Structures are given as C-alpha cells and as structure tokens.
C-alpha cells in the first residue's frame, strides 16, 4: 500500500461505522423524543428534565479521553465492539417500571459508553483513507447522527404513541446487539498505520503543546457552540414542539425529523465541497477552517430572530435552519486535527477534542431547564434559551474563524525545540 490509494474494503468499514453512529444517535434522541410522557409519568420539573438531559454527558468527556489514549495502543476493532455492548446493556433496565434515579444512572452509563464513539470511529476510518481523501468519509460518519435520528424517530415515536416509552428503550438495546454481532463478523483494522521504522522516525509533539495549539483550541471553541445546539436538539426540541408550540406527540415526532434532514444536507454538502476545494489546491484553512466556522455565525444570527417571529411554523423554520448549519464544523475538525497530530497521538488528540467540546452537553440542557422553569411563561423561557444558544454559536464561530489555521499548524508545532523523533526520545 503506497499511502495514497484507498485500500480494498474501506467503504464497507465506512458503512459499518456509519451504522455505528446511527445507533449512537438513536440512543441519544430517545429521552428527548419521549420527554413529555417521561416527565408526566415521573412527575419531573423542567430543571429535573434538564438534569436528565445533562446526565448523559457527566462521564462522556472522561471516558472519551481515557479511551482516546487506549486506542493509541489497542486495535479500534475491539474497542468499538465493547462500546456497542455497553450501549445495548444500558437500555434494558428501562423496559420495566423505573424511577428517576435509575433512569438517571442508566443515562450516565450510556453516556460513558458513547463518549469515545465518534473519536474512535474517526480514528478507525483514518486507518483506511489517506489524508487527502478523509473529508468525505468523515462526512459520511457524521451523517450517522442525522440518519440515526431520521430513521429512529418515526419508529421510536410509533412505539411511544402506541405502546410505551419503556419499550422504545428496549428496542434500542436489541438494535445495539445486532450492530455488535455484525461488527464482530465483518469489522477489521485498517492497513494505513505506521510501520515500526516509520513510528521510530515520527516526530512526537508534547501534548501540552499539541493541545494548546491555535487550531486545536479553535476546533474546540467552534464545535462547543455547535454541540450546544445539538444537545438542545436531543433533549428539548420535541418537548418545545409539544409544550411550547402546542403540537401533539404524533405531530412532534414528524416535525422532530426536520432538523436532522436539513443537518444531513449541510454535512454532506460541506464534505463534498471541502474535498472538492482541497482537490483543486485550496488551503485547508479555507477548505476546512472557514467552511466549517462561518456557518456557525450565520446560524447563530438566525436563532436570534426567533423572538421576532410570531407564528409556530416560522419559529420551527428558524430553529431548524439556525441549528442545522452547525453541522459543517463536525465534518472539518477531525481532518484538521489529523493534519498536524502525529499518527501515534492522533487517536488521543481527537478524543480530547471531543471530550472538551461535548462539555456543552452538560451545560446547555441545564441552562434551558433553568430558564424555562423561572420564566414568566413556557414559551418565553424557550425563546430565551434559544437566544442564548444563538449567542454561543456566534461567539464560537468567530473564534473558529480567528483560530483555525491547520495548513500552517504542523510547521509551527515542529519548530519548537522540545520535539524530537520518537526513536530519539528517552522511554517514558
């Protein structure tokens, strides 16, 4: 393998990992989709429901970092299998009668298993594609989030409406076991890894320098704003449609698909356009950095208009478009980090990036819950929460535009006197 061509089987692995992310986001969306019946059955306040949404992320970042270092030494094939099994097992306790505490604990366990998912999957895919061909597979992997919701919402909502929200969790557990069986049979480790000689010659960058580089900080800042919007979509969107705008559970289930359909289009368009620009010689600063960060600013500005719109359809449209534009940043940041992070450190670097930006998942649902509970009316509380979301996105996008310079980052990092080829460094 010359390192410039795509190995046989790469797209099969990409499809399996796409399905991995489909399951991942179906698991995430179920609490938000069943938010109203869960709240009614368990007697939850808005702040308690916000806590339930945030609980998913309590261990999310910690496990993302830990597993990120693990995959520097352990084959991603086995790590992905273990993660999928954790997801499945964490769903089954909700099939029977469950307390708020049990539901909270299961969501924390699920979040611990899902925290490393995208970083490990991206690291696995990068063992199958050379650098100049990674943006499109990354976009497909990111699409798993949208399709996880698009495919899962109608099925899960049918179960919720016609049977019980409890059975929706059980269905997800069964699907998780099915993916694990398919991966065990078909999953393989990619061949594009350094040889022993290449690893010995590879320059290693101290993590303190790598993680404080301008582009790494820019990726974290920009994606933090995007994930603020995403976590609100996972937790609060359906509840807002029902409680804030007056739609039924059945109607809300159909409407809840729209942000993910739009987001899917944004992600695929970004992946295609980024790879096209790179192929035509554009710098990754433009083809990845600007292309990923600018839509955040535009999306945030659109969310700021929501209080000025006086009809439900217009507000849904602003929320769908404003939040959906965030998808661009997920496509471009992992390839940007892979541009300057040494291969032996890439898995950990992408995982730490994920651990940091997903901290928004802890904060955003809690902020929305607190704002809604203390507002003069439910509708006023939701609108204030989405205006806050818009402001966060604008700041994050501007920081991304300022800091994302991946095309020159590696040269800056290697110019330091404290980096040296791995083979010349003293053993740790």
pLDDT one-digit tens code per residue, 320-338? 999 999 989 988 998 899 8
The pLDDT of residue 96 is above 80? yes
Q: What's the confidence (pLDDT) of residue 193?
A: 64
**Integer angstrom CA distances of residue 409 from 107, 127, 415:** 38, 22, 10
**Integer angstrom CA distances of residue 91 from 96, 141, 301:** 11, 23, 38
The pLDDT of residue 115 is above 70? yes
From its phi and psi, is residue 342 left (phi > 0), alpha (psi between -120 and 50) or beta? Answer: beta
Domain carrying residue 141: 12-189+202-424
User: What does 84-138 look like in DSSP terms, one character per residue?
Assistant: HHHHHHHHGGGGS---HHHHHHHHHHHHHHHTTHHHHHHHHHTTTS-GGG-HHHH
CB-based contact 105:171 (threshold 8 Å): no
Separation of alpha carbons 387 and 390, rounded Å: 5
The pLDDT of residue 342 is above 60? yes
Domain count, the chain: 1
Residue 194 in domain: no
The pLDDT of residue 181 is above 50? yes
**% helix, strand, coil for the chain, step of 5:** 80, 0, 20
Residue 402 in domain: yes
Residue 3 in domain: no
Q: What's the confidence (pLDDT) of residue 304?
A: 97
Q: What's the confidence (pLDDT) of residue 423?
A: 46
Q: Which among 134, 95, 36, 88 is positioned nearest to 350, based on CA atoms?
A: 134
Q: What's the confidence (pLDDT) of residue 24?
A: 87
Residue 117 in domain: yes
Tokens of 301: 């500005």
The pLDDT of residue 127 is above 90? no
The pLDDT of residue 196 is above 50? no
Q: Which residue has the tokens 């429901």?
A: 49
Separation of alpha carbons 166 and 155, rounded Å: 14
CB-based contact 110:87 (threshold 8 Å): yes
Segment 200-209 shows an average pLDDT of 77
CB-based contact 87:63 (threshold 8 Å): no
Residue 195 in domain: no
Separation of alpha carbons 384 and 106, rounded Å: 30
Partnered with residue 203 across adjacent β-strands are 421
CB-based contact 326:413 (threshold 8 Å): no
Least confident residue range of 35-44, 156-165, 261-270, 339-348 = 339-348
**Main-chain phi, psi angles of 204, to 5 degrees:** -100, 135
Tokens of 343: 């291969």
Q: What is the DSSP letter of 149?
A: H
Task: Give the H/E segment covering residue 203.
Answer: strand 203-204
Q: Record the pTM.
A: 0.79
Residue 4 in domain: no
Query: What's the chain's average pLDDT?
Result: 87
Q: What's the confidence (pLDDT) of residue 297?
A: 97
Q: Which among 120, 91, 129, 123 is positioned nearest to 4, based on CA atoms?
A: 129
Partnered with residue 314 across adjacent β-strands are none
The pLDDT of residue 1 is above 50? no
Residue 197 in domain: no
CATH number of the domain to which 358 belongs: 1.20.1250.20
**Main-chain phi, psi angles of 112, to 5 degrees:** -60, -35
Segment 86-110 shows an average pLDDT of 91
Residue 321 in domain: yes
Q: What is the DSSP letter of 7?
A: P
The pLDDT of residue 409 is above 90? no
Q: Which among 13, 164, 150, 1 is positioned nearest to 80, based on CA atoms?
A: 13
Q: What's the confidence (pLDDT) of residue 427?
A: 41
């Amino acid at each position: 393998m010359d390192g410039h061509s795509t190995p046989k089987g790469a797209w099969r692995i990409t499809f399996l990992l796409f399905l991995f992310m489909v399951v991942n986001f179906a698991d995430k969306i179920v609490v938000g989709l069943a938010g109203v019946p869960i709240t009614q059955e368990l007697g939850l306040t808005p702040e308690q429901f916000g806590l339930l949404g945030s609980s998913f992320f309590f261990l999310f970042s910690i496990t993302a970092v830990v597993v990120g270092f693990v995959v520097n030494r352990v084959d991603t094939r086995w790590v992905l299998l273990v993660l999928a099994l954790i997801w499945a097992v964490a769903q089954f306790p909700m099939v029977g009668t469950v307390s708020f505490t049990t539901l909270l604990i299961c969501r924390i366990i699920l979040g611990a298993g899902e925290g490393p998912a995208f970083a490990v999957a991206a690291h696995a895919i990068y063992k199958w594609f050379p650098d100049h061909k990674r943006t499109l597979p990354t976009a497909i992997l990111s699409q798993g989030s949208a399709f996880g919701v698009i495919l899962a919402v109608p099925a899960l909502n049918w179960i919720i409406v016609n049977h019980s929200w409890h059975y929706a969790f059980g269905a997800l557990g069964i699907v998780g076991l099915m993916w694990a069986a398919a991966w065990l049979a078909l999953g393989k480790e990619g061949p594009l890894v350094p040889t022993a000689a290449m690893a010995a010659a590879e320059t290693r960058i101290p993590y303190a320098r790598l993680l404080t580089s301008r582009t790494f900080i820019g990726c974290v800042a920009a994606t933090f704003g995007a994930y603020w919007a995403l976590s609100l979509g996972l937790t609060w969107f359906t509840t807002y449609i029902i409680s804030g705008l007056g739609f039924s559970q059945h109607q809300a289930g159909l409407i809840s698909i729209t942000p993910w359909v739009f987001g899917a289009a944004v992600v695929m368009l970004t992946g295609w356009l980024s790879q096209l620009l790179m192929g035509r010689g554009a710098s990754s600063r433009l083809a990845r950095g600007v292309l990923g960060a600018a839509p955040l600013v535009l999306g945030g500005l659109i969310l700021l208009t929501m209080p000025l719109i006086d009809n439900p359809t217009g507000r849904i449209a602003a929320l769908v478009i404003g939040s959906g534009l965030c998808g661009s940043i997920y496509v471009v940041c992992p390839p940007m980090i892979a541009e300057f992070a040494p291969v032996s450190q890439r898995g950990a670097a992408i995982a730490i990036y994920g651990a940091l930006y997903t901290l928004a998942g802890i904060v955003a649902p809690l902020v929305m819950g607190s704002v809604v509970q203390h507002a003069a009316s439910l509708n006023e509380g939701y609108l204030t929460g989405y205006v806050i979301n818009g402001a966060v996105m604008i700041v994050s996008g501007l920081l991304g535009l300022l800091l994302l310079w991946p095309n020159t980052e590696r040269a800056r990092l290697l110019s330091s006197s404290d980096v040296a080829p791995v083979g010349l460094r003293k053993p740790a």
